[in-house]
Amino acid sequence: MTLKEVDKKRIVTVKKVNAKGSFKRRLFDMGFVNGTEVYIEKFAPLGDPMEIKLKGYNLSLRHVDANLIEVE
């Protein structure tokens, strides 16, 4: 399943990042590496973007980007 498909108030673990090039590197720099726990905080009123918490900080991520991150 991808990060986009996870319901709010759940904790998931990053399994794989399917992005390419510099965007993949940016996701790695933000902490999306294998084994990282991610907490789905909340969604914007219209559903996009989503707010997540990982490695001690909050991050807003668009659904199109969250769809590139596989979690379990």
The pLDDT score that the predictor gives to residue 48 is 86
What is the CB neighbour count within 10 angstroms for residue 18? 11
The pLDDT score that the predictor gives to residue 46 is 85
pTM above 0.85, yes or no: yes
Structure tokens given for 60: 């807003």
Superfamily of structural domain 3-71 = Ferrous iron transport protein A (FeoA) (2.30.30.90)
Local structure of residue 7 (DSSP, 8 states): P
Low-confidence ranges of the chain (pLDDT < 70): none
Distance separating alpha carbons of residues 72 and 10, to the nearest angstrom: 11
45-64 pLDDT, tens digit per residue, is 887 899 999 988 999 999 99
